[in-house]
Amino acid sequence: MVTTCMAGMSVPASADGDTSYTITIPETLTVQNIGWNSIGNISATGSLASGKKLTVSAASANNWALKSGENTVSYTLNNGSTEKGDAATSWDFTTLPATQAIGIDVTDYSNKPAGTYTDTVTFTASVGVAKTAAGTPSIAQADCTFAPSNGKSTLSNANITTSMEYSADNGTTWTDVTSDGSIASLAAGTVQIRVKETADKLASEAVSITVPQVLAINELVGPYTGDKLTCEYYAGETWQALVDRYDLIKVYSGRAAFGSDGFIYDEDGSMIPVTDLVDNTKTYEVQ
């Protein structure tokens, strides 16, 4: 998107994705005394898409000279600096609304004939890329491990750092990684991990990792005969015997109470098929 205007005009630009802007240029820059004079501001309102910048650049009709007939006086524009030689012909906006100072620095004209010396400056506004994306993190599914706890998992990978963020809702919201090497309390499903946006870089492309279910009943063998119940839970990559987690499940003995499609009962007495996910913050009775 490029917009060209003469000084003094307010020019609205058509929308381009998430970017829409209006720029206002001072109508005149008047010098009353020899030397540098700050004149005013270039203002820009509207909105910029993430990673974009609005650049306003200036071009002189007289090759940066003020003219009165055949007489000329050279000058430069600047960004509001009081130091001579700090010429500027472009101004960048990375957020809107915002203003940028514009000044004028005129050479010594004390020996020039009296008159009104003028020049016409054309301003062009364009939208470009403010920064490039960070590199995609090197996090592969095969290199991830998962430790179950309270119905969720802690994902571990050596390449996870606090410079990253993750999303469990397909990129709608992002949460900062707070510990190098791991992300805790992840529910089963897909988690996306990327390098966060910084002042110099856009956020990277995201890596998708599948978080497995935890504490899902794998097998419940009946009728119960008094021997140990065959019951397993999922711990990332392998099924493990639930016998080591009796603090989470009460195992009843003495009578047959289920068949090959056994059920378990939670603390409220609700019957749950053994194929359902088990919440290990509760106590269950296997009957």
What token pair was written down for 127?
A: 């939208």
pLDDT score recorded for residue 256 = 32
Place 131 in a pLDDT band, splitting at 50, 70 and 90.
Answer: confident
CB atoms within 10 A of CB 194: 23
* Residue 95 scores a pLDDT above 50: yes
Q: Considering only CA atoms, which of 206, 208, 196, 210 is closest in space to residue 161?
A: 196
Asked if 220 contacts 235 with a C-beta cutoff of 8 angstroms, the reply is: no
* Residue 49 scores a pLDDT above 70: yes
What token pair was written down for 75?
A: 């000058």
pLDDT score recorded for residue 225 = 42
Cα torsion angle, 50, 4, 63, 66, sign: negative
d(CA 55, CA 267): 65
Helix, strand and coil percent figures for the chain, each rounded to 5: 0, 45, 55
Q: Which one has a higher pLDDT value, 113 or 202?
A: 113
Averaged confidence pLDDT in the chain: 74
Place 116 in a pLDDT band, splitting at 50, 70 and 90.
Answer: confident
Global pTM? 0.45
Q: Which one has a higher pLDDT value, 201 or 277?
A: 201
Place 103 in a pLDDT band, splitting at 50, 70 and 90.
Answer: confident
pLDDT digits (tens, 9 = 90+) for 220-268: 444 444 444 445 555 555 555 554 444 444 444 333 333 334 455 555 6
In 174-228, beta strands by DSSP E? 175-176, 182-186, 189-195, 207-211
